[in-house]
Homo-oligomer: A and B are copies of this chain.
Amino acid sequence: MNLSKLFELLESEINKDFTKTKVLEYKSPKEMIEHLDLDIQNESNGEKDLYKSINKYLSGSVDTAHPLFSNQLWAGRNYPALISEFVTSLRNTSVYTYETAPAATIIETYMIDMLCKKMGFKEGDGTFLTGSSNANLISLLVARNTLFPEIKSKGLSSLPELCFFVSEHSHYSFEKAANVLGFGEDNVIKVRADENHRMIPSELELSIKNSIDEGKKPFYVCGTAGTTEVGAFDPLIELQEIAKQHNLWFHTDGAWGGALIFSNKHKHLLKGIENSDSISWDAHKLMGIPLICSVILLKDNNQLLPAVCEQTSDYLFHEHEYDDLDLGKKSIQCGRRVDSLKLWLSFKYYGMKGYEERINKMVSLAEYLNHKVNSNPSFELLAPTTYCNVNFRFNPEFDLSLEEINGINLNARDEMYKEGTALFNYCYIDSKLSIRFILANPDVNTTDLDNILEIFQSKCEKLIALTV
């Protein structure tokens, strides 16, 4: 197999000069369909067409490694992790048995142990899985089956309605999990948060009492460490005390904020996380590991296996001296990609210190952007910046309606997207459209941020001229 075209492609992508490229070449869905030439023929299209199609995919995609991509909670490129991802595909194994995935089994076991210890779980357990939506679901499953072991065989139908508590700013995966697990979405109780988006402990107490009065059976509380929208950290210790009084499972959704455990400077935001029963964390977010790299961690190493394991697959799980190591028994997946290699190798490459510096840099950049926004009278901060989310809007001193301001911010943002200048996201905070800028790419610098703000402001000003 002649690999020269592949090497050319990798060279040009990995060593790209982003000052000369856009975040994307926008195409409407109709244009994209034409661009891609989707049809599959009966005959082989061969090598030449393969690279033609690959180039169409590349030019039709958002370049998430570009410093001006800031739309999601992940961005940028982690070089050793990218190379490891290639290596993972070369060996293409499934991490269910030691027999089929010996090195991967040892690496995953080591990484889970390392992460547990970092989080403060001395005898913890866990597994890599398909994202924190899945991790949150597994935390609910393990809590449910640990507290009510008969559910595993008998199901939920003879039990009272089980309910659980999350912040009103928690991730939407909890509704999905309540649906999947058979609790029902109505049994996700949203607890009120303060103006900084942190769950209010007294409101949790109240919600628990109300649910008991309604005849429901509370069993689980989730504190969020780094909310999706503003990056708020719930007061874990106060919430844990209440959970403990009521004998409820306590989960910390650290999908986004959990990375701070690697920063001595900032890990105080996670204070109390070691007293959680379970923790979700996505290494594919702030640490830049290619999607997907995600774990669920459990404080007690006797819970995961009985909550998910079944014993009828003798074609897969055998009885050799090494079969106790088989990780498939702890997973609700059967075939499962090796997601631990890229995390392990990027930790080794950068060292603990390298990751700490990376994280501290991202928080500093967020502080810088926060400062720039705050010192510009045309901008308004919409939430305090405690982590890597900066929420603001353009709001000049004109007499404009909420709808008009929202429209101007949205249109300016969308124009930049369609021009390929920059891609950042937005959400609504108290009905105000909030530009949600995420700092997750360590190759971003302050000049990039200055430029984006300047372009955004100038677009908004042009739009305002059309409005007033």
Contact B58 A90 (CB under 8 A): yes
Partner of A44, one of B87, B292, B349: B349
Contact A83 B314 (CB under 8 A): no
Contact A84 B54 (CB under 8 A): yes
Contact A157 B161 (CB under 8 A): yes
- Bound Cα distance from A58 to B156, whole angstroms: 45
Residues of chain B within 8 A (CB-CB) of A99 are 62, 71, 417, 423
- Interfacial residues of chain A within 140-182, with CB under 8 A of chain B in the complex: 141, 145, 151-162, 171-173, 175-176, 178-182
Residues of chain B within 8 A (CB-CB) of A92 are 64-65, 74, 77, 82, 290-291
State whether A133 and B45 are in contact (beta carbons under 8 Å apart), knowing that A106-B32, A175-B312, A182-B182 are contacts in the complex.
no
Residues of chain B within 8 A (CB-CB) of A400 are none
Contact B44 A131 (CB under 8 A): no
Is there a chain B Cβ closer than 8 Å to A234's Cβ? no
- Bound Cα distance from A60 to B103, whole angstroms: 5
Contact A334 B173 (CB under 8 A): yes
Is there a chain B Cβ closer than 8 Å to A277's Cβ? no
Contact B131 A336 (CB under 8 A): yes
Which of A206-214, A265-273, A351-359 lies on the face that meets chain B?
A351-359
Looking at A63, A89, A145, A425, the one whose CB has the most chain B CB atoms below 10 A away is A89
Which of A7-15, A191-199, A362-370, A373-381 lies on the face that meets chain B?
A7-15
Partner of A62, one of B102, B162, B414: B102
Contact B103 A32 (CB under 8 A): yes
- Interfacial residues of chain A within 314-368, with CB under 8 A of chain B in the complex: 314-316, 318, 320-322, 325, 332-337, 341, 344-345, 347-354
Contact B334 A179 (CB under 8 A): no
Contact A315 B425 (CB under 8 A): yes
State whether A133 and B185 are in contact (beta carbons under 8 Å apart), knowing that A83-B54, A107-B36, A162-B157 are contacts in the complex.
no
State whether A176 and B332 are in contact (beta carbons under 8 Å apart), knowing that A62-B102, A157-B159, A184-B155 are contacts in the complex.
yes
Query: 1/0 per residue A38-69: CB within 8 Å of B?
Result: 10111111110110011011101111110000
Number of copies of this chain that the complex holds: 2
Is there a chain B Cβ closer than 8 Å to A284's Cβ? yes
Is there a chain B Cβ closer than 8 Å to A187's Cβ? yes
Contact A351 B44 (CB under 8 A): yes
Query: 1/0 per residue A1-36: CB within 8 Å of B?
Result: 101001101110111000000001011110011011
Query: 1/0 per residue A267-297: CB within 8 Å of B?
Result: 0000000000000001010000011101000
Looking at A63, A179, A344, the one whose CB has the most chain B CB atoms below 10 A away is A179
Contact A62 B100 (CB under 8 A): yes
* CB closest chain-B residue, reference A347: B40
- Bound Cα distance from A62 to B93, whole angstroms: 8
Is there a chain B Cβ closer than 8 Å to A189's Cβ? no
Is there a chain B Cβ closer than 8 Å to A127's Cβ? no
Contact B337 A292 (CB under 8 A): yes
Residues of chain B within 8 A (CB-CB) of A100 are 62, 64, 71-72, 423
Contact A157 B154 (CB under 8 A): no
Residues of chain B within 8 A (CB-CB) of A134 are 130, 332-333
Contact A54 B345 (CB under 8 A): yes
Is there a chain B Cβ closer than 8 Å to A101's Cβ? yes
Is there a chain B Cβ closer than 8 Å to A229's Cβ? yes
Would you give the shortest CB distance from A1 to chain B, in whole angstroms?
6
Partner of A351, one of B40, B423, B428: B40
* CB closest chain-B residue, reference A33: B106
Is there a chain B Cβ closer than 8 Å to A132's Cβ? yes
Would you give the shortest CB distance from A300 to chain B, in whole angstroms?
19
Would you give the shortest CB distance from A134 to chain B, in whole angstroms?
7
- Bound Cα distance from A385 to B80, whole angstroms: 45
* CB closest chain-B residue, reference A160: B157
- Bound Cα distance from A100 to B71, whole angstroms: 8
User: What are 7 inter-chain pairs, A to B, with CB distance below 8 A?
Assistant: A3-B11, A43-B353, A53-B348, A86-B89, A133-B333, A179-B308, A181-B182
Q: Which 9 A-B pairs have the closest CB atoms?
A: A182-B182, A155-B184, A60-B103, A315-B427, A172-B313, A156-B182, A175-B310, A44-B351, A156-B156
